[in-house]
Structure 1
C-alpha cells in the first residue's frame, strides 16, 4: 500500500558527523561556505555543524556560521552536538551564538553501563540536569539516543524507561541512530513503528549509517513507519562506511515514495562538488545522482534507443540536476553515439566519413577507455586529413625514458613489405624514435625532412587521459608541410605525425616512379 504523501525534513550533518570521516577536517571558512550551500542554495531544513567543546578554532567557526544564519534568517536551523555535562556544552554553544543543542545520551544499556559506569537512573538524573539548564538558558533541546538500534534489540525496556523519563521534559526531537549501521529495512520499520505507536506525541528523527549499504533503503523503511525527520550527509560522508547520502535520500523519497521535500535538486551536484573539494574525499564516477559518469551512455545500442524514442531514459534525467546527457565514445560506440556527439558539436559528416571516424574511435577505444566530445574534433581532423598510404607501418614500438637519463627506443617497422628492427637513443622518446627510424629509412635512401615546428595540445578543459594532438611542421624542399598525429600518449602522437610525412613523401616518390 503506497505511503501517503507528506513533508519530510532533512537534517544534514556533513559538518559534524561527516567530519568524523577519516582524514576530513574543515577550516572555519570551509565550514561557513558548506553551511551556506546547504541552507541557502540546497534548502535543507536543518544542519548540524559541530561538536561542543572540541577546540577554540571550532568555536570560532561555529560562531561565524551562527552569525551568518541570524543575518540571513536561518536562526534555529543550526544545531550543535552537546554532551551530558550539565553546564559545559550548553555554555560553549551559547558563547558561539547557538540556539540548538543535540544532546548525546546513551540509547543502549551496554553503553550506559560499560562506557559511563552508571545505572540508567543515574544517567537520567544527569540528563535532566543538563536539559533543565539548557532550557533555562533558552536553547532548543534535541536528544540523541546513541546506539539506539542495538539498545532496542538487546533490551528495549531500557529504551522505554529512558523515553518515559524524558518524554515530558520539553525535548523537541528524539533522534534515533543506527549508530553502527546494523539494521535491515524490516528491522527499521518494526522498531520505529513501535516507537512511534508508543509515543505518538513525540517527534522522532532517524539517523542511519551505511555499513551494510542499506542506509537509503532504511530511510525508506523509516518513512513508511511514520518518521518525518531524516539525517544524512553530502557524499555519504561519515565514520566507517558513512551516513545516508543526501542526494540519494532526496531523490528516492520524491520518486519512490512521493514525499514532499524542501530541497532544490538543481544544487545537489554543486554542493557535492564543494564538499568533495573541501573534504578531499573523491566521489566515485558511478555514484548515483552526483557521479561524473551517471548520465553518460556508453553502449551504442543505448544511444540508438534514445535517438529512436528515449528508450533508455527514466525520471532521473540529467537536466533535473543541472547536468546534461552525454554519450561516451569508445569501442562500444555505434553510429548513434557518434551522431549524438556530432549534434552537440554542431558538426556534419558524410556517411563515408562517419564510418571512418567511428572506425578510428573503436580502434582508439581498445587502448583508451572512453573518448570525450572534446577529443572528437582531433579525431575528425586526423581522419579527414589522412590518406590510406601504407608504404611504412609501425608494427611495434617500445620507449624507455627516465629522469636525467637518455631515452631509448626499439621499433619494428614494415617498409613496402620488408620488416626491419632498429633501436635508437636521444633526448626524449620522440628524439630516440627519429634516431631509430632514420637508421631504417637510410636503407631505402630516404631521410626525414627537417623539423620546423612541433606543437602538442589536448582539448580545452581536457583531463590527463585526454587524447593528444601533435602537429609537426616540416621543411620539404623549402616548402612547409604539416602533419598531424592523434593518440592518448603525446610521444606516440608525434610518432604518428612523423610516419605520416614519411608515407606522404614515399607516395610522391612512387608516383614519380622513384625506385627505392
Structure 2
C-alpha cells in the first residue's frame, strides 16, 4: 500500500464500489468499476472496498478484474461473518476482508434473531478462518452506534486476541452527532488502545462528514468514504468532503491528491446516473461562484476573504455571476473577462440595468445580454427577449 510523503497516519478506505453501488438503483458496469478504481488509486486513496463476492459470479468477476489491475491501493472485500463468504473473497484473489456482523441488541434480536453469545462465537469462527488463510481483517460492527459499549469492547478484545487488524465502528443509521461520535470513539480507543478503529458513517441527518471527522479527532485512523457521498438511503461520508475537511479544518493531510476531485466526482456522477448538484460541498460548480456585490468585491481584492481554499485544489475555478445582487466590482471584472474595459462610473450606471433585467428574467445575465447592455440598447429591450431557458 502506497505511503504518501508528508501524510498523517489516516487511511482513507473508499467504499464507492461497494456501499456506493448499494445506493438504491445504482449499478456500475465492470468498465465503470475499473475506471473508478484507477482514478481513486491514482490520487492516492490507500484502500478500496471493492465489492461483495458472495453476491454471485458476475460480482466476483468484477472483483477479480480489479485485483488483476495491480493497483497500489489495498483491495478489501465485504463479507458477512460467514466462512463461505470469506472463501468467496479468497477465490477472487483478495487478501483483505471486512467481516461484518450486527452488534446492537436491536439487530441481534430483530434482524438475525440470535444472541450476543452467538455473535461472539460467530466472530471467533469467521475471524479464525480468515486469519488461518493469512488475510488482513477488518471486523465490521453493524449498528455499533446503538450497541452496548461493554459489548463492543468485548468484541474488540476478541478481535485483537485473534489477530484481527482493525474494528469498524458503523453508524449504520446515521443517528449520531459529532459530539456523540467523538465520545464513543474516544471511549473505545481508551478501552482497547492496541486495536485500530475505522469509522463508517451514514448521512441520514446530514452529519456523515462531521461524524467521520469527529471519529478521526477522537483517535480513529481509518475513514470509510464514498465519492459524492453515495450510499444507502441518504448516503455515506463524501470522500472529497472528508479529505478537504481534515486538511483545512483540522490541519490533517491524508496525502491524497485532491486536484482531480471535480473530475472524479463528475465521472462517478455519470456512472451512477446521480446528478452532481451545483451546490454540492467541495466539488459543486457553484462552490466558487460569486454574485453578491460585497462578496464579489472582497474575493476580487483577496480570494481568502470568501474562499476557504484555492479552487484549483479540487479542480475548480472561480466564476463571477452577474445578476440581481451584483455590484460594480463584479461587473467590471466580468466585462474585463470579456475584453471590455468599464470604468467605475460606467459600471455603477450599468448595475441598475443589470438588476432590472435580472429581476424580470429571474436569471443571471449571459455575456450576450451584457454586451447588449454595454452597447446602450439593453434598457429598451423587453425582458421576454432575453433567454430564460
TM-score normalised according to structure 2 size: 0.90
Residue 179 of structure 1, aligned match among 166, 172, 175: 172
> CA 1:225–1:386 in structure 2 vs 1: closer, same or farther (change >3 Å)?
closer
Cα deviation for residue 73 of structure 1 reads 3.6
Relative distance call for 1:338 and 1:169 in structure 2 (3 A) is: same
Q: Shift of the alpha carbon at 1:365? A: 1.0
Counterpart in 2 of 1:417? none
**What's the CA shift for 1:283?**
2.4
Question: Aligned pair count?
Answer: 383
| Higher RCO (CA-CA < 8 Å; seq separation 6+) | 2
Match of 1:25, SS state, is coil
CA contact (8 A) 1:149 1:178 kept: yes
Q: Which residue of 2 aligns with 1:82?
A: 79
Displacement, 1:296? 0.7
In structure 2, relative to structure 1, the CA distance for the partners of 1:122 and 1:35 (3 Å cut) is: same
- Does 1:219 find its partner at 2:180? no
The match for 2:64 is: 63
Tell me which moved more, 289-298 or 346-355.
Answer: 346-355
The 1-side partners of 2:374 and 2:193 are apart by 71
Structure 2 CA distance for partners of 1:200 and 1:363, relative to 1, 3 Å = same
Alpha-carbon spacing, 1:322–1:346, altered in 2? closer, same or farther (3 Å): farther
Higher helix share: 2
Structure 1 Cα separation of the partners of residues 40 and 378 of structure 2: 56
Matches within 5 A, 1:213-252: 213-252=206-245
Question: Deviation at 1:394?
Answer: 7.0
Q: Cα distance, 1:231 vs. partner?
A: 1.0
1:180 and 1:58 mapped to 2: Cα distance? 26
Q: Distance in 1 between matches of 2:345 and 2:168?
A: 65
Counterpart of 1:487?
A: 386
Flag structure 2 segments of 5+ consecutive residues without an equivalent. 1-6
Could you say which structure has the higher strand fraction? 1
Tell me which residue corresponds to 2:263: 270
Q: Verify the 8 A CA contact 1:269 1:321 in the aligned structure 2.
A: yes
Shift of 1:378: 4.8
Change (3 A) 1:164 1:24: same
Q: Which residue of 2 aligns with 1:143?
A: 139
Aligned to 1:285: 278
Residue in 1 that maps onto 2:30: 28
Q: Could you list the per-position Cα deviations for residues 198-236 of structure 1 after superposition, in whole angstroms to 9, with x for gaps in the alignment?
A: 111111111111222222222232122111111111111
1:123 lines up with 2:125 in the alignment: no
SS at match of 1:50: coil
Structure 1: 5+ residue stretches without partners: 398-485, 491-516
Q: C-alpha separation between the residues in 1 aligned to 2:259 and 2:176?
A: 32
- Point out the structure with max Rg over C-alpha: 1
1:102-138 CA distance string (max 9 Å, x none): 0012222332233223232333323322222222233
Distance 1:27 1:292, change over 3 A: same
Measure, in 2, the Cα distance between the counterparts of 1:156 and 1:351. Answer: 65
* Matching residue of 1:431: none
Cα deviation for residue 306 of structure 1 reads 2.9
Q: 1:311/1:187 Cα in 2 relative to 1: closer, same or farther (>3 Å)?
A: closer
Contact persistence 2:243–2:253 (CA under 8 A): no
**Inter-partner Cα distance in structure 1 for 2:151 and 2:45:** 33
Quote the offset at 1:183 in angstroms. Answer: 1.1
2-side partners of 1:158 and 1:351: how far apart? 69
In structure 2, distance between residues paired with 1:214 and 1:255? 18
Report SS of the residue matched to 2:76.
Answer: strand
Q: Which position in structure 2 is the counterpart of 1:496?
A: none
> How many angstroms apart in 2 are the aligned matches of 1:256 and 1:176?
23
**Contact 2:141 2:167 (C-alpha < 8 Å) held by counterparts:** yes
Q: Cα distance, 1:30 vs. partner?
A: 0.9
CA 1:301–1:119 in 2, change beyond 3 Å: closer, same or farther? Answer: closer
Provide closer, same or farther for how the CA distance between residues 387 and 134 of structure 1 changes in structure 2, counting only shifts above 3 A: closer
Match of 2:371 among 371, 380, 385: 380
> Residue 353 of structure 1 contacts residue 384 of structure 1 at CA under 8 Å; is this kept in 2?
no
Mark the CA change 1:119 to 1:394 in structure 2 (over 3 Å): closer, same or farther: closer
Check the 8 A contact 2:46/2:72 in 1, yes or no: no
8 Å CA contact 2:332, 2:342 repeated in 1: no
Pairing 1:110–2:106 present: yes
Compute the displacement of 1:171 (Å): 1.0
